[in-house]
Amino acid sequence: MPSQPEALTPMTAPDLKAKLAQSPETPGVYLMKDSHGKVIYVGKAKQLKKRLASYLARTDQADPKTRTLVARIADFETIVTASEKEALLLESNLIKRHRPRYNVVLKDDKRYPVLRLDIRHPYPHLSIGRKILPDGALYFGPYASAQAARETLKIINRTFKLRKCKNREFSNRTRPCLHHQMGACYGPCCLDVDPGFYAAIVDEVVLFLKGRTPELIKTIRQEMRAAAANLEFEQAAHLRDKLAALEKSLEKQRAVAADRGDRDILSVVMDEGLIVVTLLSVRSGYLHGCRNFEFIESASEPAEILSAFMRQYYDQAVTPPAEILVQYLPEDRLLLEEWFRHQGQHRVKIHFPQRGDKKRLVEMAVQNAVKTLREKLTARHSRAELLQRLQKRLRLQRLPRRIECFDNSNLGGASAVAGMVVFEDGQPKKADYRKFKIQSVGVPDDYGAMFEILSRRFRNHPEWPLPDLLLVDGGKGQLNVALAVLDALGLTSQFEVAAIAKKDEHRGEVHDKIYRPQRANPVNLDRDEPLRLYLERIRDETHRFAIGYHRQRRRRAATESILDDIPGIGPQRRRTLMRAFGSIAKIRAATPEALSALPGMNAKAAANVIARLNSTKNG
C-alpha cells in the first residue's frame, strides 16, 4: 500500500508573513501548498516577494476564487530563476508535474482524434489516432470529434489515392486489394508505383490537411490545363474530377478573413467556477475548426488563463500559426512570443485586436464560448437536480455525488474478474475506474466474488475516497453481501448501499429493480424514467467495463498457453509476434520469411512457431 503524505502543521498567519518577509525580490516560481503538503497552485513572478504579498499580505481579497485559494494555503515554496523566461519554462514544467487544483491544466490530447501520416515509409498512408507521438510522422489536428476526423479522412480517400492498408498488411499482401480494383488506390503493395509520383500525391494531401485548399486548387487547375494542352485528356479528366471534389469540400468551409491568413483565435469565459476556453482555427482565410476546452476551479485571471492555455496547447507537437488573436492580452506576451519562436522556429504574434475583421473574429470566438458555457451549466444544473431526486427517492442521508458500482464477470469460473466504475456529479470519472482479479473463487460464485472484491476495495485502499452510494449489480443477495462487508469493516454508517437487478421478462417485468436495505419490495421508479435510466446507465457501464477486462484476460491466457510452450520463444519474442500480427490466427497464416524478419526472430524460431501452431490448428 503506498505511503500517505505526511501532513503539515497548518501555518498561522504570522508564520506565513515571516516567511514572506524573507522571500527574494527576484524572478522565479512559487508553489502554494495545503495542510497536507500537496501543491495546489503554481505561479511565476518577475518579483517573487511582491507577487506573494498580493496573496498573503492582503486580508480583503475581492475575488472569491482567490479567497478560496488563500484560505487553503498552509505553506509555500519559492524557486529563484535567472530570468522571467526561465521562470516561464519552469512554471509550465511544474504545472505538468503537479497538476495543481487551482491552475489551468490542459488534459492530455490523447482523447482528441488526430490524423497521422507516416512520411518515413516510401508509400505513406493516413490513419486516425488518439495521441501525438515524437515518432517522425506528421500529425494533423487535433479534431473536435472522431466524426470530424473520419469525415476529413473520407474526403481524402475519395479525392486522393493513398493506400488504405496498414504497414503489416502492406508488407504481407500478395495481390492488390478491392480498393485498387475500384480505382481508389494505385496498389503500391504489389504493383510498381514510382515513389516520386506517390510523393507528389502525399504533398497534395499535406497541403489539404494544412488548410491550403485554395492553393491546391490553383495548382491542380494549372496542371489540368497543361495536360489538356498536351492532349493528355485522360490525365486532364482525372485532374478535373479531383478539382471538383476539392472545390466541393471548400464550399462547406466558411470564409472569415479577406487576407487569406493563418491564425488562431482564443477566448475565455467563466461562471460558477466553470471555465471555457474556445479556440477557432483559421487557415488561408477559412474557418478550419472550433474546439472548446473546459476547466474547473482556477485562481487565475482571464489573461493568465489564456497564457497558461497557450503554453500547454502549443507544445512541440502542435505548432502555433503566425498570429494568435486573444480576447485578453497576457502580461507575458513578449515572453510567450519568444518561446513560440523557439518552439516553432518562426515568428508568432499575439494580438489583441481593437477594430475590423480581427476584432469580429474574437467576438465570434466569445460567442461560441458563451454558448458552450451556458450548455455546460445547464447540463450541470440538470445533473444536480437529478441527484437531488435520487437522494429523495432512495431516501439517502446525503447527496450521492460519488457513486461506485461493482460487477463480476467470468465464464464457468475461469478468468474471473470484477470491475469498479465511478460516477461523480452525474458523470463518469474514468480515472477512478478499477479492475480486480478474483483470487479466492475458483468456481462460479457471484456472492463469493462480490464479498472478496468489496472487502479488498474497502479494506486495502483507504487512500481512495469513499462513495456516497455503493451500487452493486444484482438483487437482494448481492445487497446482503455488500451490507455484510460494510458491517465487518465498520463502514455501515459511512455511506449507503443499493442493488440494481435486471428485469425478469418471464414474470412480465418491464423495468430493472432497485433494492434498498430494510425494504422488502424494490423502489418504484416508474414515474421517474430519467432517474431509472441514470442508474441503469451506471450499471451498464460497469458491466461493459468488467466484460472488457474479462475478455482481455481470456485472450491473454489463450495466447500465452499456445506461445509459452514453443522452444526459443520467450516473453520478448512473444510480445514481438503479438504486436506484429495481433492474433494467433494471423501468426499461423504468416510465412516463415515474414516471421523470421521480425526484430529478434530468426529462421529456427520461426520454424518452431509454425510447427507448433500447425499442430494445434483447432486450439
- Which residues share a beta bridge with 326? 266
Q: For residue 111, is it left (φ>0), alpha (ψ between -120 and 50) or beta?
A: alpha
For 475, list phi and psi in degrees, rounded to 5: -105, -145
Backbone angles phi, psi at 510, to 5 degrees: -110, -15
Task: Tell me the CA distances in angstroms from 123 to 116, 150, 167, one per residue in order.
Answer: 13, 21, 9
Does 2 have pLDDT greater than 50?
no
DSSP letter string, 362-419: HHHHHHHHHHHHHHHHHHHHHHHHHHHHHHHHHT-SS---EEEEEEEEEETTEEEEEE
For residues 536 and 512, is the Cβ–Cβ distance under 8 A? Answer: yes
Measured distance CA(351)–CA(194) in Å, rounded: 46
pLDDT digits (tens, 9 = 90+) for 545-580: 999 988 887 777 666 667 777 888 888 888 888 888
* Residues 256-265, mean pLDDT to the nearest whole number: 76
How far is it, in rounded angstroms, from Cα 302 to Cα 253?
30
Written in H, E and C, the secondary structure of 198-212 is HHHHHHHHHHHHCCC
Q: So what's the pLDDT on residue 28?
A: 93
Type of residue found at 206? V
Average pLDDT in the chain: 84
Cα 310–chain centre separation: 18
pLDDT confidence of residue 415: 67
More confident of the two residues 4 and 357: 357
Q: Which three cell numbers stand for residue 563?
A: 506461445
- What does the pLDDT read at residue 4? 41
Instruction: Quote the pLDDT of residue 160.
Output: 80
Q: What is the pLDDT of residue 316?
A: 57
Residue 217 has pLDDT above 80, yes or no: no
Peptide bond into 5 cis (omega under 30): no
Q: What is the pLDDT of residue 7?
A: 44
- How far apart are alpha carbons 417 and 545 in whole angstroms? 10
Q: Is the pLDDT at 506 greater than 50, yes or no?
A: yes
Give the Cα separation of 569 and 581 in Å (integer). Answer: 15
pLDDT band at 254 (very low <50, low <70, confident <90, very high): low
User: H or E element: which one contains 446?
Assistant: helix 446-460
> Is 512 a residue whose pLDDT tops 70?
yes
Which three-class secondary structure string do you get for 55-96? Answer: HHCCCCCCCHHHHHHHHHCCEEEEEECCCHHHHHHHHHHHHH
What backbone torsions phi and psi does residue 45 show, to the nearest 5 degrees?
Answer: -155, 150
Which pLDDT score is estimated for 487? 93
d(CA 432, CA 26): 41
The answer on pLDDT for 272 being more than 70 is yes
Determine the pLDDT at residue 183: 76
Domains observed in the chain: 13-98 (3.40.1440.10), 110-255 (no CATH), 263-374 (3.30.420), 404-553 (3.30.420.340), 564-614 (1.10.150.20)
pLDDT at 73 over 50: yes
Specify the 3-state DSSP secondary structure of 563. Answer: helix
Least confident window among 242-246, 410-414, 599-603: 410-414
Q: Full-prediction pTM beyond 0.75? A: no
Phi, psi of 542 (to 5 degrees): -65, -40
Q: How far is CA 132 from CA 115, 544, 605, in A?
A: 9, 28, 35
Q: For the residues 337-362, what does the mean pLDDT come to?
A: 87
Of the candidates 253, 244, 123, 245, the one whose C-alpha atom is nearest the C-alpha of residue 176 is: 123
Under 8 Å between Cβ of 115 and 289 = no
User: For the ranges 183-192, 373-382, 473-482, 493-502, which has the lowest average pLDDT?
Assistant: 183-192
* pLDDT tens-place string over residues 178-198: 887 777 788 888 888 888 888
For the chain, what percent of residues have pLDDT higher than 70?
Answer: 89
Task: Express each pLDDT in 352-380 by its tens digit.
Answer: 999 888 999 999 999 999 999 999 999 99
Query: What is the average per-residue pLDDT within 11-32?
Result: 81
pLDDT of 441 higher than 50: yes
Q: Which three three-digit cell numbers place residue 369?
A: 464560448
| Residue pLDDT, tens place only, 120-175 | 888 888 888 877 777 788 887 777 667 777 877 887 777 787 888 887 778 777 78
